[in-house]
């Protein structure tokens, strides 16, 4: 008698296991496209054997756990790679903006205006009293100064934009870190209570990758289920359920330094070695600043050289030449201006080396084009061309690195997919399998039922 009930019980367990199996399959199928979803599997185990008439008999099945199929080493690599991709991505994006600014391939840029400016001086030297030549020169100079202002202003804008993004990235990071700490609490609690925390683990993985995309981190898993997050140089960001918040502090040049909230006077910029933040800080403080410095240097050399020679000549009124460009202040090329006196009256341009109209001063100024000024190793035109080349080179390098890092990321994601991703084909097979298992268990119950009926009719 107990044997038949045993069979019924076994059938019930079979039905239940198949149902759970179908449920897990269903979860897998519906989450097949969910980013970061780790496929799950119902782990079935045969129940401990019972004894029938002194013989050990297998008695049914049980679902011991819903397993989350993942490889923690790939997970570590993915988090690490997220920093690389975060940094290379923002570098590429920012540099492409700079490149668009310095795109001289269609002409009309600074290079062309510089050439036009020198040519206008040459034209004036050939006809030092000509009003047409004077007006053309004033216009060419104004256009050149305007282009310098535009380029420098745009570069400044790109740097300011990087700065805004630094602040945004820091607050995004703070959010991710406090979420990780909160999840740590729930996971530890859930695990100790035997609750399925698989979706919390998925969430935490996603947050770790997000944080790593912003700043280079390392993390360790504790036995209780919590993760501790550290910066690459070993400072704590998350410890169990507490997190350390970062902040920004305005420094002398108006840009933000990244600091710990609890130690706002000690910038940690230098300790950031990866992620979007590292890319942004490098762009703002080194790469884009380098371009801006070069542009300033070019503008300053041009303004000083032209002004210096202009002052030694005489204008059409026979007065000595005044300043041609307004002297550059600390804002550099961003405020390059042709002197208002020159723009207002091109006869103030000092074209001649004497009070008579010899045009020699205009020729001397036009000669700057071919000269290698003190502190330079090339002409101003070549200096600018090499700046454009340098930017092109940097973009090429950044694009190459980004492609490389993204490629590695894709490979790692594929490796992750191989373990943790959902295959519909596989799930369909599981579906059939559990469906059949369910049908078979039902058949078993039916058979036991018939056995019972037969037995009862006997009575």
Near another protein in 381-410, by CB under 8 A: 381-382, 384-386, 388-393, 395-396, 399, 410
Span from 14-22, 234-242, 251-259, 311-319 in contact with another protein (CB under 8 A):
311-319
Angstrom distance (rounded) from CA 156 to CA 344: 29
Check: CB of residue 322 under 8 Å from CB of residue 374.
no
Phi and psi based region of residue 259 (left: phi greater than 0; alpha: psi -120 to 50; beta: remaining): beta
Give the shortest CB-256-to-another protein separation in angstroms.
29
Is 315 in a helix, a strand, or coil? coil
108 binds another protein (CB under 8 A): no
Angstrom distance (rounded) from CA 164 to CA 146: 26
Angstrom distance (rounded) from CA 203 to CA 225: 14
DSSP string, 194-240: T---HHHHHHHHHHHHHHHHHS-EEEEE-TTS-EEEEETTS-EEEET
Span from 148-156, 215-223, 288-296, 378-386 in contact with another protein (CB under 8 A):
378-386
Among 5, 64, 251, 317, binds another protein (CB under 8 A): 317
Residue 368 phi/psi, 5° resolution? -55, -35
Report residue 340 as tokens: 């208002």
Q: Of 9 and 198, which has the nearer Cβ to another protein?
A: 198
Per CB under 8 A, contacts with another protein among 109-168 are 111-112, 115-116, 118-119, 122-123, 125-127, 129-130
Give me the 342-361 binding string for another protein, x by CB under 8 A, dash otherwise: ------x---xxxxxxxxx-
429 binds another protein (CB under 8 A): yes
Phi and psi based region of residue 423 (left: phi greater than 0; alpha: psi -120 to 50; beta: remaining): beta
Among 423, 442, 444, 449, binds another protein (CB under 8 A): 423
The 10 Å CB-count burial string (b at 16+, else e) for 12-51 is ebbbbbbbbbbebbebbbebeeeeebbbbebebeeeeebe
372 binds another protein (CB under 8 A): no
370 binds another protein (CB under 8 A): yes
**15, 17, 20, 24 alpha-carbon torsion, rounded to 10°:** -130
Give the shortest CB-390-to-another protein separation in angstroms.
8
Give the shortest CB-8-to-another protein separation in angstroms.
32
Among 281, 366, 368, 448, binds another protein (CB under 8 A): 366
Give the shortest CB-437-to-another protein separation in angstroms.
17
- The count of other CB atoms within 10 Å of the CB of residue 69 is 13
318 binds another protein (CB under 8 A): yes
DSSP string, 103-131: --TTS-SHHHHHHHHHHHHHHHHHSTT-H
Burial degree of 216 (CB within 10 A; 0-12, 13-18, 19+)? buried
Among 156, 260, 314, 324, binds another protein (CB under 8 A): 314
| Site size toward another protein, by CB under 8 A | 74
Angstrom distance (rounded) from CA 335 to CA 153: 9
418 binds another protein (CB under 8 A): yes
Per CB under 8 A, contacts with another protein among 37-76 are none
Give the shortest CB-85-to-another protein separation in angstroms.
14
Give the shortest CB-319-to-another protein separation in angstroms.
4
Span from 105-113, 176-184, 219-227, 246-254 in contact with another protein (CB under 8 A):
105-113
Span from 161-169, 196-204, 209-217, 362-370 in contact with another protein (CB under 8 A):
362-370
Span from 209-217, 266-274, 294-302, 412-420 in contact with another protein (CB under 8 A):
412-420
Q: Quick one: which of 401, 317, 312 has its CA closest to 361?
A: 312
262 binds another protein (CB under 8 A): no
Span from 2-10, 168-176, 272-280, 315-323 in contact with another protein (CB under 8 A):
315-323
Q: Of 120 and 246, which has the nearer Cβ to another protein?
A: 120
91 binds another protein (CB under 8 A): no
Q: Return the DSSP state at 322.
A: -
Q: Of 256 and 314, which has the nearer Cβ to another protein?
A: 314
Q: Of 130 and 225, which has the nearer Cβ to another protein?
A: 130
Angstrom distance (rounded) from CA 123 to CA 136: 9
Report residue 351 as tokens: 């074209």
Please tell me the number of Cα atoms within 13 Å of 59 on its side-chain side. 16
Per CB under 8 A, contacts with another protein among 434-453 are none
Give the shortest CB-265-to-another protein separation in angstroms.
40
Q: Quick one: which of 239, 246, 379 has its CA closest to 305?
A: 379
């Amino acid at each position: 008698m107990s044997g038949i009930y045993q069979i019924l019980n076994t059938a019930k367990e079979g039905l239940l296991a198949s149902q759970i199996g179908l449920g897990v399959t269903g979860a897998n199928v519906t989450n097949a496209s969910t980013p970061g979803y780790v496929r799950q599997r119902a782990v079935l185990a045969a129940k401990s054997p019972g004894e029938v008439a002194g013989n050990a008999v297998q008695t049914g099945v049980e679902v011991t756990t819903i397993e989350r199929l993942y490889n923690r080493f790939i997970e570590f690599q993915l988090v690490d790679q997220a920093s690389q991709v975060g940094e290379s991505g923002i570098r590429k994006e920012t540099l492409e903006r700079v490149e668009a600014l310095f795109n001289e391939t269609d002409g009309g840029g600074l290079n062309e205006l510089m050439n036009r400016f020198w040519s206008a001086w040459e034209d004036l030297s050939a006809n030092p009293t000509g009003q047409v030549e004077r007006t053309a020169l004033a216009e060419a100079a104004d256009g050149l100064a305007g282009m310098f202002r535009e380029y420098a202003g745009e570069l400044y804008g790109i740097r300011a934009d990087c700065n805004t993004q630094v602040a945004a990235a820091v607050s995004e990071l703070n959010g991710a870190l406090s979420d990780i700490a909160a999840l740590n609490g729930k996971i530890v609690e859930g695990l100790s209570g035997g609750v399925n925390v698989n979706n919390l683990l998925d969430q935490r993985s996603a947050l770790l990758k997000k944080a790593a995309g912003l700043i280079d981190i390392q993390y360790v898993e504790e036995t209780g289920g919590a993760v501790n997050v550290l910066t690459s140089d070993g400072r704590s960001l998350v410890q169990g359920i507490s997190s350390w918040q970062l902040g920004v502090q305005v420094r002398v040049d108006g840009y933000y330094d990244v600091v710990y909230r609890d130690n706002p006077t000690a910038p940690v910029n230098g300790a950031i070695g990866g992620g979007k933040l590292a890319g942004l800080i490098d762009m703002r403080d080194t790469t884009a600043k380098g371009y801006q410095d070069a542009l300033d240097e070019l503008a300053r050399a041009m303004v000083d050289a032209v002004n210096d020679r202009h002052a030694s000549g005489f204008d059409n009124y026979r007065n000595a030449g005044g300043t041609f460009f307004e002297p550059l202040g600390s804002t550099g090329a961003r405020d390059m201006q042709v002197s208002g006196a020159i723009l207002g009256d091109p006869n103030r341009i000092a074209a001649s080396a004497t009070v008579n109209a010899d045009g020699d001063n205009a020729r001397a100024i036009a000669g700057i084009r071919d000269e290698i000024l003190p502190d330079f190793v090339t002409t101003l035109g070549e200096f600018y061309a090499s700046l454009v080349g340098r930017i092109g080179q940097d973009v090429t390098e950044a694009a190459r690195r980004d492609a490389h890092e993204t490629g590695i990321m894709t490979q790692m994601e594929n490796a992750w997919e191989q373990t943790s991703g959902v295959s519909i084909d596989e799930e369909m097979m599981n579906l059939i399998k559990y469906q059949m298992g369910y049908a078979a268990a039902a058949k078993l119950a039916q058979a036991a039922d018939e056995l019972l009926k037969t037995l009862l009719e006997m009575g």
